[in-house]
Amino acid sequence: MNSSVTSAIADSISQVVEETGFTDFTVLPEQEIDHSYNISISIGLAGKLQGFLFYRALKQDAIGLAGHLATLMGIDLESNGELTSMHKAALSELANQISGRATILLSHSGIDTDITPPTIITGDSISFGISEQLLFHGFILDSPQGSLHILAGLRQM
């Protein structure tokens, strides 16, 4: 995966999260891809760049991030330790905004790409079968409210 693609994804994460109101966060490269998550949001990419972006989190991180996002928007999101439909919707919207921003930044480099609507998968033993034809790069959005792991599996056409 070339540097303009990875930079566009990392920049989109930082820009959207900052615009959303998060102030204490970092975006780091993910060195080792872990597969033990309770929620995964998949967004497909099509066009000059094909593949997917998987947004993955542990249950408590998902609750913390979605709760903080809701608070920043003036919404009281009760959880009682449960991952509710409102939590899933908030995280799905965050993933959608980051992915959409990435397509805008990629277009500045001449890489026109479209995204699919988000698909949310929850459970205790989520596993994926993914193409070996894709190049992978991982990112971690780390904040006091929790961590969101973003895995890009992409190929340029």
pLDDT at 27 over 90: yes
Q: Domain of residue 98: give its range.
A: 3-156
State the DSSP string of 31-97.
SS-----SEEEEEEEEESEEEEEEEEE-HHHHHHHHHHHHHHTT-----TT---HHHHHHHHHHHHH
Per-residue pLDDT reduced to its tens digit, 51-98: 999 999 999 999 999 998 888 888 877 778 788 888 899 999 999 999
CATH number of the domain enclosing 88: 3.40.1550.10
Per-residue pLDDT reduced to its tens digit, 110-150: 999 999 999 999 988 776 766 778 888 899 999 999 999 99
Q: What is the total count of domains within the chain?
A: 1
> pLDDT class for 34, splitting at 50, 70, 90?
low
> pLDDT class for 31, splitting at 50, 70, 90?
confident
